[in-house]
């Protein structure tokens, strides 16, 4: 199951590209396009700037896969968060390690992106803990009632996280900002290292989607539908907004994300659901 | 044909460099990405990063200042790669053939695989050129008889 | 130090801007142009003057119509040819169609430079209307090539005339459809308002031209000199006082509407008459002409010596005078603002037929 | 506010604007400046086209009654078509397709 996550993520990426193209009045690439891209990248000659790069690319994919595995085996959410964080750090370090100024700048921005969404995720998990009394996914399943009914605002906050995670505008400051930074953090990867990074991204996307589907934990089908709706909303937002700066990203995520979750928790406390 | 080779034909990432033409071809290359022509149907993306590109789309005649840039860029694109010269000036120099600072076509600096004529080359011609490059990548191109 | 170009996805043309940044703040910027230097002015002296019109059209593919017309006006001045009135009207119509094409291209690229890809795609789709019109006129999407010395080589027949009027209405509707995004969208305003300030005094002092100077509130537009038939079309330059990227975008958006109106008005006033006046003799004497390109003032200076070759031809295209203001605009802004500010001057590097050698100060 | 929402939904539900080239041939526009063809029975080798060609794409061999036209050098301005006194040059419908190497087209009497 954990090994299938890259496939799900890849398919989602294909859906993403197709839908984006349709929103722009184009036909768009076939659904399997990300797989073609990754396969092709695997067969290309690789140019390696530093010997650390391949190791870090493997690390990125590895940590992402571990995170996916932890989610499938219903482990601790905090652990998932830290392992995904490790994956991101691999990417950031690899970007810093390359000698290109574009790579360096976007590595810096990727770091800031992590800084902006991880606290929100942490807070959301804490809210889940306050409701269910457990940080583990198993605990969420055992809680019985769908989380969406108790924590709707936290889901909205996680929507912002998904935007950053998928590197979509308005907060695509590090990955997709080709107008500013060519290919962002991916500038200096080529050949199989890039293919690994792509696989890692798919895995991470699928992991995040699985976490989102926990908001209707008793039924994976409804949960999956919720996460797909959120995915679609991200695509809409991507096509509706230009890119903003990282300063704005940090401010928005912290202000809106924290406020939403704290309000949610406060409302629950007042309503007597928790404590 | 292996799986990787098949995938290669369906995912061509383009890096575009203007060697000093009139912009006519450059905007047509861009126009090929926009809704009316939408080359993303074939998996073609303008990637802008030479390290991940498969196809170099070159426009404009080469002059003495940018031939070094062009050569560096060519070196940076990893194998297997295809070079498409788009437009009359990129093929032979065209109307700039007697300008003093012009070397001629881009084939004076880097080996060219496909020549797309036209001033400016139309998006249909550019798509045809990419199809020819795909055939060459697949090994279906006629052998050079020299 | 960040090298921006010569190969960069946002700017397909080769120019290098070397940014010296502190964290993400721009401290200093050095331009390095000349990647497109071809030596056109020299080639124009080598060629037959009648052939040069095609060379001039290929100085810049985006403003090719106006380049060709300006050169034709130069030669007409040097040979004393009078252009028939119908030809002057047709030239004006086609110049405005070219301006529409260029402004739509720019608005699209500007939307892309702030990361608004769906808007870019939308605008470029609407731009195809203009390109199809150009193609229907003379069989090519970019290079219209209708200008000849002494007049025009194509006529606007009844069928084409109706198509022009119909397409202009269609285009107006499409521009209405997305124009408000440029004016009112909050995120768009956040990226442009107050970015790339060029005060009125500096704009004049640094010699900015075209929409850059008009965006700083100076009504300087060569079309108000009334060349072609602009004198008969009640032309008024568009200005905005914001002095920033936003008002430069607004100038171009308003000029898009203005061009649609000008085309329609010129077609209404079109009178019958000959298309071309045969030019006799060879260029002799000294002349200069100025015209307004989508990017600003274009200046041609020519010396003829009574032979088939020109003695000297000097071309001043609009992008070069806009580079010094650009450098001033950029300093103090973030790296994230580079694409917007660089694009706000509408750089067209193929016009910039000059070479610089940049050396870092020790 | 997201002012573009209506537009995006319209695009999503509507038909894409893409012309499916090369699977569907686009409609031919009359007067397209494409390839040219020389009618050698009308040509009297006056060399006007060679002299006028802005990019030097036409070479006339007077002795051999032979014209070489380089499609990769031609800028498709059709100045030759307009200026040929004998109307020996006709524009063809199609545009020159791309090729693997630079070739000239030869027209012989």
Alpha-carbon dihedral sign for residues C98, C104, C105, C110: positive
Q: Which chain B residues touch C37 with a CB distance below 8 Å? A: 20, 63, 65, 101
**Buried-state track D27-64, b at ≥16 Cβ within 10 A, e below 16:** eeeeebbbbbebeeeebebeebbbebbbbbbbbbeeee
Residues 6+ apart with CB under 8 A from C204: C213, C218
Q: Does residue B59 sit within a domain?
A: yes
| C308, C281 Cβ separation under 8 angstroms | no
Say if CB C115 and CB A243 are below 8 A apart. Answer: yes
* Cross-chain Cβ contact C112/A180 below 8 Å: no
Where are any strands of DSSP class E within chain D? Answer: 36-38, 58-61, 66-69, 89-91, 105-108
- Asked whether residue D2 is assigned to any structural domain, the reply reads no
Q: What is the rounded CA–CA span in Å between residue C117 and residue C226?
A: 38
DSSP state of D66: E
Q: Which of A13, A22, A26 to mutate to test the interface with B (most CBs of B within 10 A)?
A: A26
Q: Are A37 and A21 in contact (CB under 8 A)?
A: no
Q: Looking at CA atoms only, how far is residue B96 from chain D in angstroms?
A: 7
Confirm whether D101 is domain-assigned: yes
Pairing assessment for the beta strands D66-69 and D58-61 based on DSSP bridges = antiparallel
Q: Which domains does chain C have, with CATH numbers?
A: 2-351 (1.10.645.10)
Checking if the pLDDT of C362 tops 70, the result is: no
CB D3 to CB C122 under 8 A? no
Are C140 and D8 within 8 A, CB to CB? no
Residue at D48 is within a domain: yes
Domain that holds residue D52: 28-108
Q: Subunits touching B (CB < 8 Å, at least 3 pairs)?
A: A, C, D
Number of domains comprising chain A? 1
> In the structure encoding, which two tokens stand for residue C155, read together?
């006529």
Q: Which residues of C touch B (CB under 8 A)?
A: 6-9, 12-14, 34-40, 42-43, 46-47, 54-55, 58-62, 64, 105, 120-121, 124-125, 127-128, 131, 140-143, 348-350, 355
pLDDT digits (tens, 9 = 90+) for A55-113: 888 888 888 888 888 888 877 888 888 888 888 888 888 877 777 777 777 788 888 88
Tell me whether residue D14 is in a domain. Answer: no
- The answer as to whether B101 is a domain residue is yes
Q: What is the pLDDT of residues C38-91, one digit of tens each?
A: 888 888 888 888 888 888 888 888 888 888 889 888 888 888 888 888 888 888
Determine which of A133-137, A145-149, A195-199, D74-78 has the lowest per-residue pLDDT on average: A145-149
The span from the CA of C127 to the CA of C259, in Å, is 14
Of D70, D77, D100, the CB nearest to B113: D100
pLDDT band at C8 (very low <50, low <70, confident <90, very high): low
Written as one string, the DSSP assignment of C10-73 is TB-S--EEEEEEETTEEEEEEEE--TT---HHHHHHHS-TTTHHHHHHTT-SSSHHHHHHHHHH
For residue D15, the chain C residues in CB contact (below 8 A) are: none
Distance from CA of B35 to the nearest CA of D (A): 5
Tell the residue number behind the tokens 């509408």, with chain if given.
C346
Burial of A252 (0-12, 13-18, 19+ CB in 10 A): middle
Residue B39 sits in a domain of what CATH number? 3.40.50.12280
* D80 cis-preceded (ω within 30 degrees of 0): no
Q: Quote the domain boundaries for residue B63.
A: 8-137
The tally of domains found in chain B comes to 1
Task: Provide the residue range defining the domain that includes A151.
Answer: 2-271
Q: List chain B residues with pLDDT less than 50.
A: 145-146
Instruction: Provide the number of CB pairs (under 8 Å) joining chain A to chain B.
Output: 82
Number of domains in chain D: 1
Q: How far apart are CA A19 and CA A21, in angstroms?
A: 5
Q: How many CB pairs under 8 A join A and C?
A: 69
Residue D68 domain flag: yes
Determine the Cα–Cα distance for residues A130 and D76; give it in Å rounded to an integer. 73
Domain containing D84 — which CATH number?
Answer: 3.30.70.3270
Q: What pLDDT, in 10s, does the model give residues B20-61? A: 778 888 888 888 888 788 888 888 888 777 878 888 888 888
Chain A contact present for D2, CB below 8 A: yes
Subunit contact A180:C10, Cβ cutoff 8 A: yes
Contact state of C125 with A25 under an 8 Å Cβ cutoff: yes
**Cross-chain Cβ contact B43/A25 below 8 Å:** no
Tokens of A109: 């921005």
B84 beta partners: B57, B114
Check CB contact of C119 with chain D, cutoff 8 Å.
Answer: yes
Considering the domain boundaries, does residue B56 fall inside one?
yes
Q: Are strands B82-86 and B55-59 parallel, antiparallel or unpaired?
A: parallel
The distance of D51 to chain C (nearest Cα, Å) reads: 9
- Residues C104 and C123: their CA atoms lie apart, in Å, by 7
């Amino acid at each position: 199951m954990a090994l299938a996550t890259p496939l799900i993520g890849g398919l989602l990426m294909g859906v993403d590209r197709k839908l984006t193209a349709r929103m722009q009045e184009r036909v768009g690439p076939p659904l399997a396009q990300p797989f073609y891209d990754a396969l092709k990248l695997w067969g290309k000659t690789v140019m390696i700037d530093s010997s650390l790069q391949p190791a870090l690319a493997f690390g990125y994919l590895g940590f992402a896969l571990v995170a996916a595995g932890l989610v499938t085996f219903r482990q601790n959410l905090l652990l998932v968060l830290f392992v995904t964080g490790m994956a991101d750090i691999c990417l950031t370090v690899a970007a810093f390690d390359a000698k290109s100024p574009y790579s360096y700048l976007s590595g810096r921005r990727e770091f800031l992106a992590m800084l902006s969404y991880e606290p929100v995720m942490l807070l959301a998990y804490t809210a889940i803990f306050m409701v269910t009394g457990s940080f583990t996914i198993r605990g969420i399943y055992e809680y019985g009632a769908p989380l969406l009914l108790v924590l709707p605002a936290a889901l909205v906050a996680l929507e912002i996280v998904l935007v950053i995670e998928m590197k979509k505008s308005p907060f695509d400051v590090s990955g997709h900002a080709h107008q500013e930074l060519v290919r962002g953090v991916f500038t200096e990867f080529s050949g199989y290292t890039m293919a690994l990074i792509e696989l890692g991204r798919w895995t991470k996307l699928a992991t995040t989607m699985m976490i989102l589907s926990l908001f209707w934990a008793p039924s994976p089908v409804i949960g999956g539908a919720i996460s797909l709706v959120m995915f679609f909303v991200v695509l809409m937002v991507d096509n509706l907004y230009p890119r903003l700066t990282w300063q704005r990203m940090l401010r928005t995520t912290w202000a809106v994300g924290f406020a939403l979750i704290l309000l949610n928790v406060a409302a629950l406390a007042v309503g007597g659901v928790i404590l | 044909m292996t799986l990787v080779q098949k995938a290669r034909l369906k995912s061509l990432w383009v890096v575009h460099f203007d060697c000093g033409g009139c912009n006519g071809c450059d905007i047509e290359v861009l126009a090929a990405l926009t809704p009316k022509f939408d080359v993303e149907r074939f998996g073609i993306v303008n990637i802008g990063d030479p390290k991940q590109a498969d196809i170099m789309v070159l426009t404009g005649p080469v002059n003495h200042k940018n031939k070094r840039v062009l050569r560096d860029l060519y070196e940076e694109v990893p194998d297997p790669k295809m070079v498409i010269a788009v437009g009359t000036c990129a093929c032979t120099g065209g109307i700039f053939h007697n300008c003093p600072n012009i070397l001629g076509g881009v084939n004076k600096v880097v080996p060219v695989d496909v020549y797309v004529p036209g001033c400016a080359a139309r998006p249909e011609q550019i798509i045809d050129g990419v199809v020819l490059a795909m055939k060459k990548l697949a090994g279906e191109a006629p052998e050079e008889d020299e | 130090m960040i090298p921006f170009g010569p190969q960069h996805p946002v700017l397909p043309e080769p120019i290098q801007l070397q940014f010296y940044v502190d964290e993400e703040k721009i401290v200093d910027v050095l331009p390095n142009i000349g990647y497109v230097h071809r030596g056109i002015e020299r080639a124009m002296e080598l060629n037959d003057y009648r052939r040069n019109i095609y060379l001039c059209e290929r100085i810049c593919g985006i403003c090719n119509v106006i380049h060709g017309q300006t050169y034709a006006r130069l030669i007409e001045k040097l040979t004393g040819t009078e252009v028939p009135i119908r030809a002057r009207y047709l030239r004006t119509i086609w110049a405005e169609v070219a301006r529409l094409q260029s402004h739509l291209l720019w608005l699209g690229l500007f939307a892309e430079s702030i990361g608004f890809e769906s808007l870019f795609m939308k605008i470029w789709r609407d731009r195809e209307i203009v390109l199809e019109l150009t193609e229907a006129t003379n069989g090519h999407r970019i290079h219209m090539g209708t200008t000849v010395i002494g007049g025009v080589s194509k006529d606007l027949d009844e069928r084409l005339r109706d198509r022009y009027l119909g397409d202009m209405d269609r285009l107006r509707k499409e521009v209405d459809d997305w124009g408000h995004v440029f004016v009112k969208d909050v995120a768009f305003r956040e990226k442009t308002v107050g970015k790339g300030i060029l005060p009125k005094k500096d704009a004049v002092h640094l010699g900015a031209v075209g929409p850059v100077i008009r965006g700083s509130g100076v009504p300087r537009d060569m079309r108000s000199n009334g060349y072609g038939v602009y004198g008969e079309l009640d032309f008024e330059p568009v200005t905005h006082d914001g002095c920033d990227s936003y008002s430069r975008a607004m100038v171009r958006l308003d000029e898009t509407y203005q061009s649609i109106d000008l085309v329609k008005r010129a077609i209404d006033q079109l009178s019958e008459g000959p298309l071309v006046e045969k030019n006799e003799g060879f260029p002799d004497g000294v002349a200069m002409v100025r015209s307004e390109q989508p990017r600003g003032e274009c200046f041609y200076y020519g010396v003829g010596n009574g032979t088939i070759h020109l003695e000297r031809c000097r071309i001043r295209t609009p992008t070069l005078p806009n580079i010094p203001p650009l450098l001033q605009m950029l300093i103090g802004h973030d790296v994230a603002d580079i694409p917007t500010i660089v694009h706000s001057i509408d750089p067209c590097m193929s016009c910039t037929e000059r070479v610089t050698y940049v050396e870092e100060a020790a | 506010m997201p002012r573009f929402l209506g537009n995006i939904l319209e695009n999503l539900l509507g038909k894409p604007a893409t012309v499916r080239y090369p699977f569907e041939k686009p409609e031919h526009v009359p007067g397209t400046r494409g390839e040219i063809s020389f009618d050698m029975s009308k040509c009297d080798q006056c060399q006007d086209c060679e002299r006028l060609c802005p990019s030097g794409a036409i070479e006339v061999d007077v002795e051999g009654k032979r014209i070489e036209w380089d499609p990769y050098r031609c800028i498709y301005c059709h100045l030759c078509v307009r200026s040929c006194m004998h109307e020996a040059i006709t524009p063809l419908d199609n545009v020159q397709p791309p090729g693997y190497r630079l070739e000239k087209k030869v027209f012989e009497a």
